[in-house]
């Protein structure tokens, strides 16, 4: 089991007021799964994603990532987990505006201490995986939204993480580019990458093998329908 | 590291105007320091060169009364100053590092030296012993030098230096002509010059007073004829030649001690003293130093102000780049990566400021030297030190913003759209 969250609670303190955002979340994800998390705005999806991505700590609960109790790790060790085991993709891409596609993809490799020559090779390979090898020298401003997101996906995948976390990856894209991103996710998942994706969009969620709903901080699993949707898509 | 430096240059370049303005404090501070140091250095080297620059390594030991050389013209021959015998001279020659020593008599004679109606005003008359011209590294430019016979037969012959020849003869050939010293006619037999010609550089009135005596003309006569024009038993001066410039101070002191041990004047203020040129140079340099160290302090304060400016802009930059920092942390950057990135950026920024400052400082120094005709000497260690110091300023003042960046909470950073 790659993700094992049990009884996760997350409260925010605001002006002496305790605001509960996640309430008793229990979620297990097996290796190679493709999970979508849906829910209305403000329901706590991003909050959950940050906890899964080891960017944030829950107020209480247990969380094992690939068998490791990450809540017991120090900040520096958490950085290493993020570097090696997790890939992040965001709605707004978050590319370094003054760096080329290749340099953007190389960034995690330089944190991993990979040498320059190998960095270049691996970044080019990752760009190849998202079909943008010939755009390597382009700057973000010279790329379309869909291409930017693919560069971001290449960056997320370049260290070969176990799990890819995507927070509304198609939220800023038109439906055609969104569909391309979904195809790419499909392909990555078939190659064995575990994907956890947040989305508002039912159609997008339908690409996943498994869909969860978060409503007001509580999670529930969608049942019975996923097989049906998958047939429909094919 | 290289990656960080590359990124820093990129960042600095993408905000050219802002980066330049940020660096300005550093540039001005460093430029001021370099300009000041260069002028100090230049002046110091010139003072040293002016005083000891003839490079002949000779020290003159003369009789002093208090702080002034004993004036024969006013005071008359002092009691208890014995003639310096060949034995005493031999003792002086045995001092360590002393190559040679000679005796001479000297008077600054206002209105006592003439050729026809032309006076040598303020010139010196020197009664030289047979060794004198050798000890002081003179060469004969024209005519001949003194011979043994000149000394023995009390011949009234004179040698001129270039200054006295010019002043008295104004371009005419002085050889064979007559110079009157205290109404006694002397035949000019030659013109002498120091083997290494040296002209002190005169920039200010003070320089003029310090060095002008060197440019007053001198008329040399055999010391045996001295009593004909002046008096018997006048106190002698000593000139010694040492192996190197650094030996001058010591040899001069020891020489003076030997001569003083024979004094019996009953007056403590009358003493032989070595004219210590190195010490003199040092004193003049010290004088300049205190004013200049003040200027350096002021420039230092401008550097601190510059550093605070850098800190300020870096803080703004951290705020601006919150998202970037959050993203980097999300994809696995450690605190140390972020810290390194911002510290490098601050250090690169201020180092560039330092380099620009050194360049403008050199330009400034050259302009100062052109405009005020002061000498400048660019000091390489000062230039390198300045750049290293600016880098340190960047690191010190970049610390706070860099820590702030490294400690940013990535969630908050990413949440900010
Ligand atoms: N730092 C914080 N302090 C206080 N409250 C917070 C903080 N961060 C998030 N919240 C609250 O937690 C709740 C969940 O936020 P979250 O960003 O997880 O929602 P979301 O499901 O991702 O919404 P969206 O679909 O709009 O992105 C919101 O009500 C938000 O106001
Ligand atoms: Mg969200």
B305-314 per-position pLDDT tens digit = 899 999 999 9
In sequence order, what are the beta bridge partners of B348?
Answer: none
Average pLDDT, chain B: 85
- With H, G, I as helix, E, B as strand and everything else as coil, classify residue B33: helix
- Rounded Cα gap, residues A67 and A70, in angstroms: 9
Of A75, A98, A156, the CB nearest to B14: A98
pTM recorded for the entire structure: 0.70
pLDDT at B267 over 70: yes
User: In this structure, how many other beta carbons lie within 10 angstroms of the beta carbon of residue A69?
Assistant: 11
| pLDDT score, position B120 | 86
Same domain, B260 and B290: no
Per-residue pLDDT of chain A (234 residues; tens, 9 = 90+): 999 999 999 999 888 899 999 999 999 999 999 999 999 999 999 999 999 999 999 999 999 999 999 999 998 999 999 999 999 999 999 999 889 999 999 999 999 999 999 999 999 999 999 999 999 999 999 999 999 999 999 999 999 999 999 999 998 899 899 999 999 999 999 999 999 999 988 888 888 999 999 999 999 998 755 444 544 444
**Running DSSP on this structure, what letter comes out for residue A147?**
H
Are B3 and A50 within 8 A, CB to CB? no
Round to whole Å and give the CA distance between A88 and A172: 16
User: Please, are residues A93 and A148 in contact by the beta-carbon 8 Å criterion?
Assistant: yes
Q: Domain range for residue B357? A: 2-50+283-415
> How confident is residue B188, by pLDDT bands cut at 50, 70 and 90?
very high
SS3 B153: coil
B193 in the same domain as B90: yes
DSSP assigned state of A62: E
Rounded to the nearest whole angstrom, what is the distance from the C-alpha of residue A41 to the centroid of ligand 2?
7
Residue of the nearest CA to atom 10 in ligand 1?
A: A12
Cβ distance of B327 and A56 shorter than 8 Å: no
DSSP string, A171-221: TTS-HHHHHHHHHHHHHHHHTT-EEEEEES-HHHHTTSSEEEEEETTEEEE
3-state DSSP of A2-38: CEEEEEEEEEEEECCEEEEEEEEEEEEECCCCEEEEE
- Confidence label for B152 from pLDDT (cuts 50, 70 and 90): very high
Counting the structural domains of chain B, the total is: 2
Tokens of B106: 């000297």
Cα(A9)–Cα(A61) distance, integer angstroms: 6
Do B252 and B309 lie in one domain? The reply is no
Chain B within 8 Å of A91 (Cβ-Cβ)?
Answer: no
Average pLDDT over residues B359-386: 86
Model pLDDT, residue B235: 85
B270 confidence band (pLDDT: 50, 70, 90): confident
Say yes or no: A107 contacts chain B, CB-CB below 8 A.
yes
Chain B contact present for A78, CB below 8 A: no
State the Cα–Cα distance between residues B60 and B106, nearest whole angstrom: 11
Question: Look-up: residue for tokens 């079909």?
Answer: A131
B327 to chain A, minimum CA–CA distance in Å? 7
Residue B227 shares a structural domain with residue B339: no
CA geometry: angle A222, A228, A232, nearest 5 deg: 130
Contacts for B215 with CB less than 8 Å, ≥ 6 apart: B163, B199, B200
- Whether residue B291 sits in one domain with residue B391: yes
What is the reported pLDDT for B417?
60
User: Residue A231: in which H helix or E strand, if any?
Assistant: helix A226-233
Q: Where is the domain boundary, B275, B304, B330?
A: B275
| Confidence category of residue B52, pLDDT binned at 50, 70, 90 | low
Cα distance between residue B51 and residue A69, in whole Å: 80
Residue A217 zone, left/alpha/beta (φ > 0; ψ -120 to 50; rest): left
Range of the domain at A95: 3-233
Query: Residue A226: what pLDDT?
Result: 47
Query: Can you give the CATH number for the domain in which A45 is found?
Result: 3.40.50.300
**Residue A216 CB neighbours (<10 A):** 12
- Rounded CA-CA distance B371/B373 in Å is 6
Lowest mean pLDDT among A185-199, B112-126, B208-222: B208-222
Q: Does B190 share its domain with B62? A: yes
The closest alpha carbon to A167, from B326, B291, B191, belongs to B326
Residues B158 and B186: beta-carbon distance below 8 Å = yes
**B312 to each of A123, B308, B357, B402, how far by Cα in Å?**
36, 6, 20, 12
Of residues B308, B107, B306, the one with CA closest to residue B226: B107
Q: Which of B332, B340, B413, B416 to mutate to test the interface with A (most CBs of A within 10 A)?
A: B332
Contacts of A98 in chain B (CB under 8 A): 10-11, 14
Total domain count for chain A? 1
Domain boundary among B275, B307, B341: B275
Query: Would you say residue B49 has pLDDT above 80?
Result: no
Residue B211 scores a pLDDT above 60: no
User: Which residues face B142 on adjacent strands?
Assistant: B191
Q: How far is the CA of A46 from the centre of ligand 2 (A)?
A: 4
For residues B269 and B330, membership in a common domain is answered with no
**In whole angstroms, what is the distance from residue B231 CA to residue B274 CA?**
24
CA distances from B279 to A167, B156, B274, B327 (A): 79, 38, 11, 65
Q: How far is B311 from chain A (nearest CA, A)?
A: 23
Q: Specify whether B222 is located in the same domain as B254.
A: yes
pLDDT band at B209 (very low <50, low <70, confident <90, very high): low
Question: Is the confidence at residue B286, as pLDDT, over 80?
Answer: no
Q: Which of A81, A55, A79, A87 is nearest to A158 (CA)?
A: A87
**DSSP 8-state assignment for residue B245:** G
Alpha helices in B321-416 (DSSP H): 322-330, 335-372, 380-406, 410-415
Same-domain status, B189 and B315: no
Of the listed ranges A112-116, B52-56, B366-370, the one predicted with least confidence: B52-56
- B256 in the same domain as B175: yes
* Residue in the structure block whose two tokens are 């002498």: B192
Average pLDDT over residues B31-49: 80
pLDDT in the model for residue B293? 76
Structure tokens at A37: 């998390």
d(CA B49, CA B201): 9
Region for residue B77 given its phi and psi (left: phi exceeds 0; alpha: psi -120 to 50; beta: otherwise): beta
Same domain? For B17 and B118 the reply is: no
CA–CA distance, A91 with A156 (Å, rounded to integer): 13
Output the pLDDT for position A74.
Answer: 93
Q: Which residue has the tokens 């706070």?
A: B400
Helix (H) or strand (E) segment spanning residue A120: helix A116-129
Helix (H, G, I), strand (E, B) or coil at B221: strand
B255 CA from centroid of ligand 1 (Å) = 93
Those of residues 38-77 in A touching chain B at CB distance below 8 A are: 46, 50, 53, 55-56, 75-76
Cβ < 6 Å from ligand 1: which residues?
A 12, 14, 19, 21, 39, 41-47
């Amino acid at each position: 089991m790659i993700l094992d969250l049990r009884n996760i609670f997350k409260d925010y303190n605001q002006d002496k007021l305790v605001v509960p955002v996640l309430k008793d979340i229990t979620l297990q994800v097996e290796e190679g799964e493709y999970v979508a998390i849906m829910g209305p705005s403000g329901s706590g999806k991003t909050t959950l994603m940050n906890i899964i991505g080891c960017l944030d700590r829950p107020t209480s609960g247990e969380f094992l990532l690939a068998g490791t109790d990450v809540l017991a790790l120090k900040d520096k060790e958490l950085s290493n987990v993020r570097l090696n085991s997790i890939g992040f993709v965001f709605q707004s891409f978050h590319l370094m505006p003054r760096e080329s596609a290749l340099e953007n993809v190389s960034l995690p490799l330089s944190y991993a201490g990979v040498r320059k020559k190998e960095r270049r090779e691996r970044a080019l390979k990752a760009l190849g995986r998202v079909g943008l090898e010939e755009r390597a020298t382009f700057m973000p401003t010279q790329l379309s939204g869909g291409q930017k997101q693919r560069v971001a996906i290449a960056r997320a995948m370049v260290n070969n993480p176990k799990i890819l976390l995507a927070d509304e990856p198609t939220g800023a894209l038109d439906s055609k580019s969104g569909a391309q991103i979904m195809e790419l996710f499909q392909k990555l998942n078939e190659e064995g990458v575990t994907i956890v994706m947040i989305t508002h969009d039912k159609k997008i969620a339908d690409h996943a093998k498994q869909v969860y709903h978060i409503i007001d901080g509580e999670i529930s699993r969608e049942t019975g329908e996923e097989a049906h949707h998958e047939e429909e898509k094919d | 590291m290289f990656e960080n430096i590359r990124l820093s240059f990129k960042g600095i370049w993408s905000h050219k105007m802002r980066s330049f303005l940020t660096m300005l404090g550093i540039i001005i501070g460093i430029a001021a320091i370099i300009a000041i140091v260069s002028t100090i250095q230049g002046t110091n080297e010139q003072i040293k060169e002016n005083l000891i620059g003839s490079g002949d390594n000779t020290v003159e030991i003369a009789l002093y009364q208090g702080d002034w050389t004993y004036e024969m013209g006013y005071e008359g021959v002092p009691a208890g100053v014995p003639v310096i015998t060949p034995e005493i001279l031999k003792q002086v020659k045995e001092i360590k590092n002393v190559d040679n020593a000679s005796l001479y008599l000297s008077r600054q004679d206002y209105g006592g030296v003439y050729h026809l109606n032309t006076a040598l005003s303020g010139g010196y008359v020197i009664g030289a012993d047979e060794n004198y011209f050798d000890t002081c590294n003179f060469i004969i430019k024209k005519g001949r030098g003194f011979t043994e016979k000149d000394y023995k037969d009390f011949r009234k012959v004179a040698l001129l230096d270039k200054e006295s020849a010019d002043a008295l003869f104004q371009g005419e050939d002085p050889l064979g002509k007559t110079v009157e010293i205290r109404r006694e006619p002397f035949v000019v037999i030659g013109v002498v010059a120091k083997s290494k010609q040296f002209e002190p550089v005169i920039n200010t009135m003070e320089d003029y007073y310090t060095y002008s005596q060197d440019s007053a003309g001198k008329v040399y006569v055999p010391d045996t004829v001295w009593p004909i024009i002046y008096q018997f038993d006048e106190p002698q001066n000593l000139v010694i030649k040492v192996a190197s410039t650094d030996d001058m101070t010591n040899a001069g002191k020891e020489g003076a001690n030997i001569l003083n041990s024979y004094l019996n004047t009953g007056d403590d203020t009358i003493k032989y003293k070595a004219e210590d040129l190195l010490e003199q140079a040092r004193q003049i340099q010290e004088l300049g130093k205190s004013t200049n160290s003040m200027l350096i302090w002021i420039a230092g304060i401008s550097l601190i102000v510059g550093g605070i400016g850098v800190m300020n802009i870096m803080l703004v930059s951290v705020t601006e780049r919150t998202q970037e920092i959050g993203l980097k942390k999300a994809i696995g950057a450690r605190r140390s990566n972020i810290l390194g990135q911002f510290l490098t950026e601050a250090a690169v920024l201020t180092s560039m400021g330092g380099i620009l400052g050194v360049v403008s400082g050199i330009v400034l120094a050259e302009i100062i030297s052109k405009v005020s005709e002061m000498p400048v000497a660019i000091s390489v260690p000062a230039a390198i030190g300045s750049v290293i110091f600016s880098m340190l300023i960047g690191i010190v003042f970049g610390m706070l913003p860099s820590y702030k960046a490294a400690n940013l909470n990535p969630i908050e950073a990413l949440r900010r759209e």
